[in-house]
Amino acid sequence: MRTNRFMPPVALLGLLVAGPSAATNGMRMTGFGPVQNSMGGVGVGTTLDGATMLSNPAGLTEQDFSLVVGGTWFKPTVNYSAVESQLPPSMTGAVVLQPGTQLNSRRGGSPIPTLAVVYPVGNGLTLGVGAFGVAGMGVDYAQNLYGGGTSTSYLQMRVTPALGYKINDRFSVGLALNAMAAQMKWNVAAGFGQQPHDTSTALGIGATLGAKYVAAKWLTIGAAYETKSYFQDFRFDVPAHNGVNPATFQPVPFAASTDRLSLNQPMSATIGVEIAPIDIVVVGLDVQWINWADTNGPNKPAFSANTSGAMAWDLGWSNQVVYKMGAQVRPMKSLALRAGYNYGKMPLDPNCAFENLAFPAVSEHHFSAGVGYDFNKLTVNAGAMWSPAATLSGANADYPANGGQAIKSYTTSMSQVAFDFGIAYRI
């Protein structure tokens, strides 16, 4: 495994703890921590705990001095099947999945950590710092479309120093620095002469700007802008091997080499509202736009160096609009009951069969619920999320130079469950 000796220790710990989860809204988690997750991921207009430093740092001005520790157990169920197979003449020796056969990914669940500290300095200024698992995806299939196994993994940890400043009783602003570490690996099309690309680590940087405005006693409006996150290239050392030219499907020897892959994370913009019709009820709605096409669009992620004969990626993702809705009711002062719903249309291109099986970001609907209980200075929060099975069907792109298609048609499906638990200690 290749690591960077300058990686922040907290980020390194998070990467070692967190496994490669499958995608939710694209490859991003719906929310951060048990409070946001149990309310559909709302965290821009409605900012109820320290995780707001990641979603809208302006919400820090509403928080007391606190330490938040939590985690999510995330379990996707992913499968795929080939509906009809057809190989180019030059690939007649390859073994393909028989039409109608369904394979299930063998990847298990993943722990995703949450850690945050909030410190009100005074004079309207509040500081915060946190470490969060924010994105991931991956599968582990015994056989792929071309024979051999398919294993992929991407995971990302973020360390976020942040500040919020309350300009007056109605208006607050915030800024967070997003210092990130990500790991990626894949082993695909082994039966097609492709070499494994073992775990590589890359560091990234970005920022989040936020604002909140109290329009009325019952209405608060929030906005957040997350910049594009720029990562180092992932670097993969590939040994000498006999492979296949991906353009001609003909055998060719390759010397030992180093491949470099560029994969950044997208810009996003969110507006949100919080409606509190009575003191014991809070309703939140966020609408988020994620610019996936810029980082995961056609012919991306892209190799900045490819000397091993690795097949080029073409995720072909489009931009995504995500709708997040959540409500909290306090039937008594110490008890909070929460529920939420999250929807984002899958950003995938159905013609990118190979990529969609390797990174199946197909989930769309997410239903969640949770509870919180205050024990004086200590609050315990728990929640659960369920995403029913979503399915994508399509056909792989043509290979006209080789007289056919690598796969005629396919389907891939995913469902998800997640369980959250966390404690918040206030001083």
Parts of the chain with a pLDDT under 50: 1-8, 10-14, 16-18, 22, 92-93, 399-405
Query: In this structure, what token pair is assigned to residue 78?
Result: 């992913």
Closest by CA position to 395, among listed 403, 386, 387, 404: 404
Widest pairwise Cα distance in the chain? 73
How far is it, in rounded angstroms, from Cα 159 to Cα 203? Answer: 11
How far is it, in rounded angstroms, from Cα 268 to Cα 263? Answer: 16
Under 8 Å between Cβ of 172 and 58: yes
The dihedrals phi and psi of 279, each to the nearest 5 degrees, come to: -60, -30
Report, in this order, helix, strand and coil percent for the chain, each rounded to 5.
10, 55, 35
Query: In this structure, what token pair is assigned to residue 37?
Result: 């997750």
Task: Report the run of H or E that residue 355 belongs to, with start and end.
Answer: helix 353-358
Handedness of CA 18, 22, 28, 32 (dihedral sign): negative
pLDDT tens-digit series, residues 100-110: 677 888 888 88
Under 8 Å between Cβ of 106 and 138: no
Query: In this structure, what token pair is assigned to residue 189?
Result: 């099309």
Q: Which residues contact 217 (CB under 8 A, 6 or more apart)?
A: 276
Under 8 Å between Cβ of 413 and 80: yes
Q: How confident is the model at residue 402, as a pLDDT? A: 45
How far is it, in rounded angstroms, from Cα 405 to Cα 320? Answer: 29
- The residue written with tokens 């990302």 in the block is 156
If you write DSSP's letter for every residue of 58-83 in order, what string do you get?
GGGGGPPSEEEEEEEEEEEEEEEEEE
Domains, the chain, ranges and CATH?
9-426 (2.40.160.60)
pLDDT tens-digit series, residues 298-342: 999 999 998 888 888 899 999 999 999 999 999 999 999 999 999
In terms of Cβ atoms closer than 10 Å to its own Cβ (0-12, 13-18, 19+), residue 333 is: exposed
If you write DSSP's letter for every residue of 81-146 in order, what string do you get?
EEEE----GGGTT---PPTT-EEE-----EEEEEEEEEEEEETTEEEEEEEEEEEEEEEEES--TT
Q: How confident is the model at residue 400, as a pLDDT? A: 45
The dihedrals phi and psi of 296, each to the nearest 5 degrees, come to: -125, 20
Q: How confident is the model at residue 11, as a pLDDT? A: 45
How far is it, in rounded angstroms, from Cα 166 to Cα 368? Answer: 31
359: DSSP letter: S
Q: How confident is the model at residue 413, as a pLDDT? A: 92
177: amino acid identity, one letter: L
Closest by CA position to 79, among listed 417, 411, 366: 411
Length of the chain as a residue count: 427
Closest by CA position to 135, among listed 29, 268, 280, 215: 29
How far is it, in rounded angstroms, from Cα 232 to Cα 180? Answer: 10
How far is it, in rounded angstroms, from Cα 41 to Cα 288? Answer: 11
